[in-house]
Structure 1
C-alpha cells in the first residue's frame, strides 16, 4: 500500500470519534466463530465486554452488547472441543459497531463459507469495521476483505502466513493493529487488550481498566506493544528494542540493515541505535549477529543439516563466514560442536 494512503488511514483511525448511541449499548459487537476457533481468544474478548457492560460483576449487557452470529444456528466446536451455541442468525450487520471473526487452528483454514463471506462483504460495504482475532485475519484475507491492509499475526504463525497468503502485509511485532476499518490481533491475551482498546473508545477508560483488573491483567497495552517471542538469550524492557529484536528474528535468513530496520519501525537509525546502546550496551548489528549465531548453534546441536545449509539459513555468506563468526563467539567451530553433540539428539533431515 502507498505510504501516504496508509498514513492517512492510520491518522483517521487514531482521530475517529465515537459517540454514545441514542439507545442501547454504547458498544455492540457481533461474533463469527470459525470452525475449531480458539476458545481463549474468544473468551478474553467477551469477558472484557461483559465486565465493562455493567456495575460490579453483574454481567448485564447495559453499556456493551455481544452476540454470536450463525448461518445455521448449529453449535460451533472450538479447538479444545468445547462448543458454543450461537445467539442469532446472520442479519443486518449495521446493528453492530464491529463484526469480530475469531479464527481457529492453522491446519483447518478452509474458509468461512459463502453465507458468512456475503455477510462480511455487506458489513464492509456499509462501513462496519471488521476485526480478525488470532487467525481471523487470515480468514478475512481469504474472503478478499484485507487487500491493502496490514494484518497482525502471531510471531508463531509468521512463517505460515508467508507460505500461504499473498497480497497482505503481515505484522508480528505488535499485539494488535487498528488499520482504519480493519483491526487485527495476534490472539491469546492480546484479544483482551484489543477489546479493552475498543471499550475505552466507546465506553470509557475506567470501564476498560476495570475489566482488565478483574481479569488480573495489570494495565491496558497499546497496539504497538511488542509480542512476546521465542527466547533469544537477550532480555530488555525497552519496547522499541523488543520490537526490533522480533523483526530480526523474523529475518534471520536475510539480515536487515539498521537503516531498513529503523524504517520499518518508523524510527530514525540514530534513535534505534541509541535505544540499543541504552538497553543492551550493544549496537543493533551486534545484537542481530548474536541472534543469528545462537540460532545456528541450536541448529547444529539439534539437526543433521549441513553447516553450509545452516549458514544460508542464518544469513551468512557461506560456511567459512559462519565458522569464523562462530569461533569468535563460542570458542569452537560448528564442526567441533557437531562432533560433541550426540547423534540421538539431532533431527535427521528427510532426503
Structure 2
C-alpha cells in the first residue's frame, strides 16, 4: 500500500528480493499487487509516478501487507485508514510497516504492548506519541503477525529475513548475493564481535571471491581473523550448515549459473568452480540439483 511521497527506494527493496527469489527458484514463489487507498497514480518523494489499484480491488486476503508511507505520514493516520488496517489484520497473515509505516499501525491501535521500530529520524517522536508501544532501536522487528523497519536498506534486510524463514538460509543467501548484499569486506573490523549474520555474509563474500581456487576452512577463518570454532558456531547458528557445506553450495550454484547461461564446456565449468575433475563436479551437481549438468543444460 503506497502513500503520496512514498520512498521508491523502499518499494524496490521490498519487491526486488521476492522477484529474485522467483528467478532463482524458476517458479512463482511470490506475487504482489501495488495499491493505494483510492487507486490511481501515486507519486514518490523523488517524483516517480506509480499506477496503483484501489484498496477495494485487492484480493480478499494475502500473506503480507506492506505499508509504505514516508513524508507527511501523520496526515494519513485518519479514522478511515485505522478502520482499513484493523480489517486488514484479519485478511493478511502479517502487516508490515516500512519507513514510517509503524506510525499508521500504532495509530490504528495495532502495536499496543508490541515491540516496533521506525525510521530513525522520527524515533523519539514516535516513542512520545505512542507510549504503549515498546519502541526499540533495531534495524527491523519481525514477529509472527507484525513487522516494522526503519527505511530502504532495512526493508531489504526484512524481506531477506522473510525469504529465509519461509525457505532456507542458503536460499536467502543466494538471493542476497544477486544484489551484492554484504559484498564489501573490511578485515580491519572487529569480526569476532560481529553478529552471526554479519560474519556469515563476510565469509560468504570471501567464498564467492575464491570459487576457482577454494580456501580450506581454516584458511578462511584466518583471512577473516576469527578462530575456526567461532566461525563454525556462527554458521550453525545462522545457516544450520557448516562453512564447508555453504562453500560447496555457493560453488555449485555458480556452476549451475554457468551451465544455464553460457556455452562453456562442463570441464571448463568444473575448473572455474574449483573442482579438480569433471566427474567430481558432476557427482556433486547431481546430488545438489537432482540431475547432471549436461541434462540440466539440455532441459534449460
Bin the TM-score by the shorter chain.
0.5 to 0.7
CA contact (8 A) 2:8 2:45 kept: yes
What aligned pairs does 1:318-329 form with structure 2 within 5 A after superposition? none
Distance in 1, Cα, partners of 2:53 & 2:168: 27
Write out per-residue CA displacement over residues 276-333 of structure 1, whole angstroms, 9 at most, x where no aligned residue.
xxxxxxxxxxxxxxxxxxxxxxxxxxxxxxxxxxxxxxxxxxxxxxxxxxxxxxxxxx
Alignment match, 1:176:
140
- Does 2:31 match 1:48? no
- Alpha carbons of structure 1 residues 117 and 83: separation in structure 2 relative to 1, 3 Å: farther
Residue 194 of structure 1 corresponds to 158
Q: 1:176, 1:196 → 2: CA distance?
A: 11
The alpha-carbon deviation at position 97 of structure 1 amounts to 0.6
> Structure 1: any 5+ residue segments left out of the alignment?
1-31, 220-234, 241-351
Give the counterpart of 1:74 among 40, 49, 58. 40
SS in 2 for 1:97: strand
SS in 1 for 2:165: helix
Separation (CA, whole Å) in 1 of partners of 2:162 and 2:93: 14
CA distance in 2, matches of 1:69, 1:202: 24
Give the drift of 1:166: 3.0
Determine the C-alpha separation between the residues in 2 that align with 1:181 and 1:49: 19
Tell me the TM-score normalised to structure 2 length.
Answer: 0.56
Flag the 1:96–1:73 CA change in 2: closer, same or farther, 3 A: same
8 Å contact kept, 1:111–1:142: no
Q: 2:87 aligns with which of 114, 118, 122?
A: 122
Aligned pairs for 1:226-241 (under 5 A) are 238=193
Counterpart of 2:63 in structure 1 is 97
**Distance in 2 of aligned mates of 1:82 and 1:61:** 29
Change (3 A) 1:171 1:94: farther
SS at match of 2:176: helix
CA distance in 2, matches of 1:47, 1:73: 22
Judge conservation of contact 1:50–1:61 (CA < 8 Å) in 2. Answer: no
CA distance in 1, matches of 2:33, 2:92: 19
- Following the alignment from structure 1 to structure 2, what is the Cα–Cα distance between the partners of residues 215 and 54? 13
- Matched residue count: 189
Deviation at 1:211, TM superposition (A): 2.2
SS in 2 for 1:110: helix
- In terms of fraction of residues, the more helix-rich structure is 2
Q: Say whether the 8 Å CA contact 1:93–1:128 is kept in structure 2.
A: no
Q: 1:205: Cα distance to partner?
A: 3.2
- For residues 90 and 166 of structure 2, what CA distance do their matches in structure 1 show? 22
On the 8 A contact 1:76/1:84 being kept in 2, the answer is yes
- 2-side partners of 1:165 and 1:39: how far apart? 27
Q: After alignment, is 198-207 or 96-105 more displaced? A: 198-207
8 Å Cα contact 2:38/2:53 also seen in 1: no
SS in 2 for 1:54: helix
Q: Cα distance, 1:115 vs. partner?
A: 5.0
TM-score by structure 1 length? 0.48
Structure 2 segments unaligned to the other structure (5+ residues) = 184-188, 196-300
User: Are the counterparts in 2 of residues 132 and 183 from structure 1 also a CA contact under 8 Å?
Assistant: yes
Q: Deviation per CA, 1:180-212, whole angstroms, max 9, x where unpaired?
A: 311111112111111011112223334322221
Check the 8 A contact 1:196/1:212 in 2, yes or no: yes
In the TM superposition, 1:320-339 aligns within 5 A as: none
1:72 to 1:185, Cα distance in 2 relative to 1, 3 A: same
Structural RMSD (CA) = 2.7
